[in-house]
A and B are shown apart, each in its own frame.
Chain A
């Protein structure tokens, strides 16, 4: 009988091509049936329209129809007529309806030419629900790694809408039972298009695989292609490492952190410096997380390379505004760097050989399908090159090098319970012979337990640890010594997320223990005369509770509302100095020492941090968004240099130092064109900061037991406009962004020493009003890609002496104002060519070559400008350029 059906179907397909007239959607039933045979009813419909029904008559034996119908659609009527039967129906196209036995759908479809793999069946086809919307849930994973995919788009063509997966790779849709076309996509992976039959509530899992042939160029958008318009987040960008790898990089070393500076609102103070300035924030106002562990120093060799191995990293997400309540503790941004999980299916390896360093990564299953590992290592060979090839006398004894090692374990303990653990260690060494040395070490670890309580209730528990130690050696002395400082923290955090139709509610809490080592001096030589001196370590604890709800009110409005309550205490053992006068100052004298015993609270701070975001969709491709967030920051980087340097000291809020409080307001207009091919946005922000830490003129911060006398706290303000045009599809893609921003501060203390620039607003040292970035890539052929960056920014402020004077024969500059001048404007062009060596989809060994030139036209961009007395007694300004030439590089990458 099925053969007949097939025959009919084939014939009909041909015929239907020629038939005109009423189709399924036009059929309206206006009739009262009294126990009529369904076969007769269907025949009547066939007679009065162009609709045809296909079935095996034996299935319809004795199936009768009763009831009164007025202007009823065929779909509704069929729902009724098949409700208490073994039958189900399927609208094959606009004219043809297939009736089938519920258990036989697949074979029926097979006959209709559809393969099992093209079809997703949700719910029990033998017990289909009809009429009411059911919940369709699922998990989207990366098929190579089995990792859940965040931000995969699940789009239902028939509804012209869809949803996006959460961090657990899960999504939920409300659909009427029926037949749909769904498209599941993720920015880095191959889109999957499926036919989905929904019979009732249920769920499915779908794996996406890497795009093998189709090379996309530079895309900065992570997540769904229209997330910038549809999502509630603003000021948030996800960069995929695969895309970052194609950007021109300094000496060919792919740098995840540096690539962020190509985004509007993110800048650095100069080349070769570590630290980001996000929307007018200082470098210590960014919480940079590797998995869950905060990273205190993100760079190797001062700031030339980032510490994250590109092979072991998935993506990086930066939140510049509208920061959800589960994140906090740093005032300006959160940067989440996600380490890759190893593949649970097969072993693999990749790596690269560059001019400065080489790297290798290996991954594979521990227990197939259940658990995996990944390890990645990187080592520089600058030293070896110094010794072997350079042989420049001046460089003998100089050393520069780094290594890092990272790993992650991923266990699926059960269907509901998953455990991941990741670790990272790195070491840097830089020595200028007989002069100075700078060493630092990062150690990070985190473990995360994920539990699925039910389909829409997820729980997470994480523990993270971070330790950053740095040593600065002064070798230019009879008795050389080093000063060691450090900071460490231990975080414990628990979150629960509940998804309902319109809500994504997340709540939780956590606590962090900080330990600060402000400085310790010890001799380097064995026969040293130096008595070790150590400033006492400081301890503090920061805790928080939060709730955050993302609410899709309707298609046009969505809201994210969150509240975070943070508490902080610094505790003993510690000695706190009490000074004469209101605030500790240089002239005030010590009047008392307060002694605190172990765990005794020295000072408490706390505050409520509201977070609020709105999205209003003007149409499918346009939206308006607004957000507000308040963040308390309890730890500070104390510095009197422009860049982050080994002299800087991390310290927590304490008896004198108050927490920094930042409020940010931002609004934005987002519009996409041509099916999300072009994205445009305009965002305006205003940020107000209280208790911004600055230093007094002439402050001596190194090993200073009375550091509070050298510091001042004042106000900060930043505002700006960020414009972005981006093309993320096609052979040519990339973006152009322009930012106008100002970042100012006001330090008005009780006395002259704690007042800067007469208490007026003055620019921060990273205030660069105009910033233009053009970044693009062009796929010349399937194998060749050219990419390029151009950046321009206003020179940063620096202090210019108003005049000078002679004292004891030394010309001393008279700096009456801080940051009253600007270094020359910065601009730079980079180019990179990437050659993929193989285009085969299935290949054992994939490799690529990247040829890059950094600073193509060799501009000597100023890092700093300073004044020196010269032999002819006239002071001269000098410009220090760090990378004042074009830097070519070549890198070989492989994967198998």
Chain B
């Protein structure tokens, strides 16, 4: 079996390949204005962040990162002009709390930098988000490359959304989600190590808290469009994969999905951000590229500006995932001998939506 052993090793190498850090000699060049912000139908205030590009190898980052003291305004198609106010010279500018996006209205951002340069965005229209009919879940597993470059299988749920999107228009969406689950720990078993006294573990039961709610805001996002589905009134979109471990199913997982409408151009931009985050640089990945912002220097349209200013209608929907949805036997007890409040993002107060 010598031959087979050699082969097994070869095939293993063949499939896994190897990824090593590589000290690439970057040439640092210019820095460019980066605009980030949106007007939505969610309650304000909305933020517009003005920064500059950051250098890749330069840890000191000699360039300016925040554009402070700029004058920022958003003009609406109904003739309103909203002046934004910078908070603590952070480069982040806020609208008033009463300013709120309206479906069908268009918005144009104007930025006057401290040095007098004026930038304007394209007029962006706030497109309606069609109603979300429901959220679907499907148990499955997903491959994932760990930090140690090992391929790991994670169990969880594929999340889909059924959207009543109108067949006559092209629709594109940005998807964000957060989820809450209840955990169970053992504060009565809490103990501590008495290093100064007996140099042993000393039992110190706590009354609070055995039950907590962990609220996770996913840093992940997804984009979707109906290019391949257009024509049907109820469209199923594959949104994302939610990895699940046993302790999350002590009672249930409360999942809230928020879907925002995007224009065709905004989708194109968000798709490039998605590629930046999720592409592996592998065999089949498209070569990377930059999508320019929809913001331009009024005096020099050739100047490269990055980021995006867009408008979205946002709809939210939630659903629960129960232990019965998970087909495998799992241990839902954390076994943790202390208060559950020590878990990140944990609270002992039941969220108001928990029993909705």
Contact = CB atoms under 8 A, between A and B. Distances in A.
Interface of A: 251, 272-273, 302, 304, 355-356, 382, 385-386, 388-390, 392-395, 398, 400, 432-435, 476-479, 521, 529-531, 533, 586, 640-643, 645-647, 697-700, 703-704, 752, 765, 798-816, 818, 821, 824, 860, 862-869, 871, 874-885, 887-890
A700 B285 CA distance: 12
Interface in B226-258: 227-229, 231-232, 236, 238, 241
A433 B30 CA distance: 44
B136 interface: yes
Contacts of B7: 251, 355-356, 385, 389
Nearest to B150: A394
A567 to B, nearest CB: 35
A803 B151 CA distance: 30
18 contacts: A390-B11, A395-B15, A434-B140, A478-B136, A531-B229, A646-B284, A647-B284, A698-B271, A804-B56, A807-B273, A809-B219, A816-B29, A864-B282, A865-B281, A866-B285, A883-B13, A883-B14, A887-B13
Interface residues of B, number: 87
Nearest to A802: B29
Contacts of A531: 229, 231-232
Contacts of B27: 802
Contact of A878 (B21, B136, B147): B21
Contact of A884 (B1, B5, B18, B24): B18
A803 B17 contact: no
Closest 7 CB pairs of A and B: A866-B281, A478-B158, A697-B289, A879-B22, A877-B24, A803-B53, A478-B138
B31 interface: yes
B169 interface: no
A117 to B, nearest CB: 47
Contacts of A700: 271
Interface core residue of B13, B283, B285, B304 (most chain A CB under 10 Å) = B283
B36 to A, nearest CB: 5
B312 to A, nearest CB: 12
A803 B29 contact: yes
Contacts of B329: none
B201 to A, nearest CB: 32
A165 B284 CA distance: 46
B89 interface: no
Interface in B145-186: 147, 150-153, 158-160
B349 interface: no
Contacts of A883: 13-14
Nearest to B232: A531
Contacts of A808: 36, 221, 273
Given A434-B153, A478-B138, 7 more contacts: A398-B15, A434-B140, A800-B24, A805-B54, A805-B306, A807-B36, A881-B19
A812 B238 contact: no
Contact of A816 (B3, B141, B284, B304): B304
A434 B155 CA distance: 11
A562 B143 CA distance: 56
Contact of B22 (A434, A435, A645, A862): A862
B53 A477 contact: no
Nearest to B291: A698
Contact of B3 (A395, A697, A890): A890
Interface in B204-227: 219, 221, 227
Interface in B283-336: 283-292, 304, 306-308
A865 B290 contact: no
Contact of B277 (A640, A805, A810): A810
A815 B291 CA distance: 9
A392 B160 CA distance: 32
A433 B284 CA distance: 17
Contact of B283 (A272, A752, A765, A871): A272
Given A800-B24, A865-B22, A879-B22, A812 B276 contact: yes
A109 B8 CA distance: 66
Given A804-B53, A807-B308, A879-B19, A765 B143 contact: no
A869 B142 CA distance: 21
B17 to A, nearest CB: 5
Contacts of A697: 289-291
B4 interface: yes
Nearest to A304: B14
Contacts of B53: 802-805, 814
Contacts, number: 240
B90 interface: no
A868 B147 CA distance: 12
Interface string B94-117: 000000000000000000000000
A799 B273 contact: no
B301 to A, nearest CB: 9
A887 B14 CA distance: 10
Interface string B21-64: 11110111111101010000000000000011111100100000
B280 interface: yes
B273 A810 contact: yes
B143 A434 contact: yes
A434 B288 contact: no
B344 to A, nearest CB: 15
Nearest to B16: A394
A752 B231 CA distance: 33
A877 B282 contact: no
Given A390-B8, A476-B241, A801-B56, A884 B273 contact: no
Contacts of A815: 288-290
B272 interface: yes
Contacts of A813: 276, 288, 290
A647 B21 CA distance: 27
B175 to A, nearest CB: 12
B268 interface: yes
B355 interface: no
Contacts of A803: 28-32, 53-56
A433 B152 CA distance: 11
Nearest to B157: A478
Contacts of A887: 10, 13
Given A390-B12, A697-B290, A860-B18, A868 B271 contact: no
Nearest to B278: A810
Contacts of A586: 265, 268
B199 interface: no
Contacts of A432: 15, 143
Nearest to B276: A812
Nearest to A706: B227
B352 interface: no
Nearest to B5: A389
B11 to A, nearest CB: 6
A729 to B, nearest CB: 36
A814 B59 contact: no
B6 interface: yes
A645 B241 CA distance: 25
Contacts of A812: 272-273, 276, 290, 306
B196 interface: no
B356 interface: no
Interface core residue of B231, B271, B307 (most chain A CB under 10 Å) = B307
Contacts of B306: 805, 812, 814
A616 B21 CA distance: 54
Contacts of B137: 478
B290 A878 contact: no
B88 interface: no
